[in-house]
Amino acid sequence: MTDSCIFCKIVSNEARAEIVHRDEQVTAFRDVHPVAPTHILIVPNRHIESVGTLAAEDEPLMGHLFTVARKLAEEEGISKGGYRMITNTGTNGGQTVYHLHVHLIGGQRMRYPMG
C-alpha cells in the first residue's frame, strides 16, 4: 500500500470504483473515463509501480492477471469480437497512474496505427 496511490486506495476500498473482479492477487474495475463500451483496468493488489519494476517472482501474478482478463472479456461478451489490452509504462509510454495496470478495452473496432 502506498498512501498517495489512487489504485491502492481502490484496492483497499478507501476510494470508490465499479469493481468487476476481486481476488487475493488482483482487482479489476471500470475506468472512470472509458474509451470504448468495455474499458476495465486490472491491477495487482500489491503496489507495483510499472512493468519496469516487475521482479522474476511476479511472473505467476502477471499470468494470473491475464487469465482474469480473459475471463472478464468472456463475461463482458467481447471475446468473440476481439479486444485490446494495453499497459503503458513510464513517461514515453503515456503512463499517468504509477500502479501497474492493464487496460482491457473492447466492444468496438479498435483504431490503428498505435504510437
Q: Which residues form the interface with ligand 5GP (CB under 6 A)?
A: 6, 17, 29-33, 41, 88, 94-97
Q: 99 touches which of ligand 5GP, Zn ion, none (CB within 5 to 8 A by kind)?
A: Zn ion
Work out the number of other CB atoms within 10 angstroms of the CB of residue 65: 21
Tell me the closest approach of the beta carbon of residue 55 to ligand 5GP, in angstroms: 20
Segment interacting with Zn ion, rule: CB under 5 A, options 8-16, 59-67, 70-78, 84-92: 8-16
- One-letter-per-residue 3-state SS of 55-96: CHHHHHHHHHHHHHHHHHHHHHCCCCCCEEEECCCHHHHCCC
Which x/- pattern, by CB under 5 A, does the window 88-107 give for Zn ion? -----------x--------
Catalytic sites, residue numbers? 101
Tell me the three cell numbers of residue 65. Answer: 492477471
Side chain identity, residue 66:
F
